[in-house]
Structure 1
């Protein structure tokens, strides 16, 4: 039976290079590819050998006008599993982002934050 897995998600961001740098710092990921894309835009693929986040801009992306939780089909948050939750939170705080909604319940511990593009991340650890 075939196994399915998520290869990538694609976000429109203001500055793909800056967002890619954050993802490299916070999660140890690498830029797998970068280059021109649709509508004279630029895309960065940031991740590991099996999955990545595509960061796209066409130079002047429209701002978010609605809360994603109120928009059918919108993304609400992106969850990233890390080995060391506290160390990852320290990196995110050091970059000037505020974390919230800390939870310590089965399974795992977690917190949330919004990046400078308005994307909400859930950072979770299942380590003991």
Structure 2
């Protein structure tokens, strides 16, 4: 049997500069690649060596997404949940759904484009 992992998630956002800077600060990530993309758009890959978010924009007015259509959320693992929550709030986003159950503590937030993220810490 072969083994695998998620290498990247591709998300359409309205402002890739804002989103890239946010994830760099929230997760300690760096910009891995940047370039032109389909439909006259632009993509920034922000992440670490093995995994990243591909942030894409075609500069159109995107209304975001409805929860669960087509996905529920993207899970992000952090070492310090309280520090991560401060970063989320510093960027004007609202954490919600705080909970503490196995295997760790967590909260959720929606980004500027209506994409839901779960931030979890196993520490």
Q: SS of the residue aligned with 2:106?
A: strand
> Structure 1 residue 2: deviation in Å?
3.1
> Structure 1 residue 100: deviation in Å?
0.3
The residue correspondences of 1:97-112 to structure 2 (distance < 5 A) are 97-112=93-108
Structure 1, unmatched stretches of 5+, are none
Q: SS of the residue aligned with 1:101?
A: strand
Distance in 2 between residues matched to 1:62 and 1:94, nearest whole Å: 24
Distance in 1 between residues matched to 2:117 and 2:2, nearest whole Å: 29
Count residues in correspondence.
Answer: 123
Alignment deviations for residues 56-108 of structure 1 (CA, whole Å, 9 cap, x no partner): 111114323x5232x3xx11100001011011111111111110000011110
Q: How high is the TM-score relative to the length of structure 1?
A: 0.91
Moved more, 106-115 or 53-62: 53-62
Structure 2, unmatched stretches of 5+, are none
Q: How high is the TM-score relative to the length of structure 2?
A: 0.94
Distance in 2 between residues matched to 1:123 and 1:6, nearest whole Å: 17
Distance in 2 between residues matched to 1:37 and 1:44, nearest whole Å: 10
The residue correspondences of 1:1-128 to structure 2 (distance < 5 A) are 1-64=1-64, 67-69=66-68, 71=69, 74-127=70-123
Structure 1 segments (4+ residues) deviating >6 Å: none
Q: SS of the residue aligned with 2:87?
A: helix
Q: SS of the residue aligned with 1:68?
A: coil
CA distance change for structure 1 residues 104 and 19 in 2, over 3 Å: closer, same or farther? same
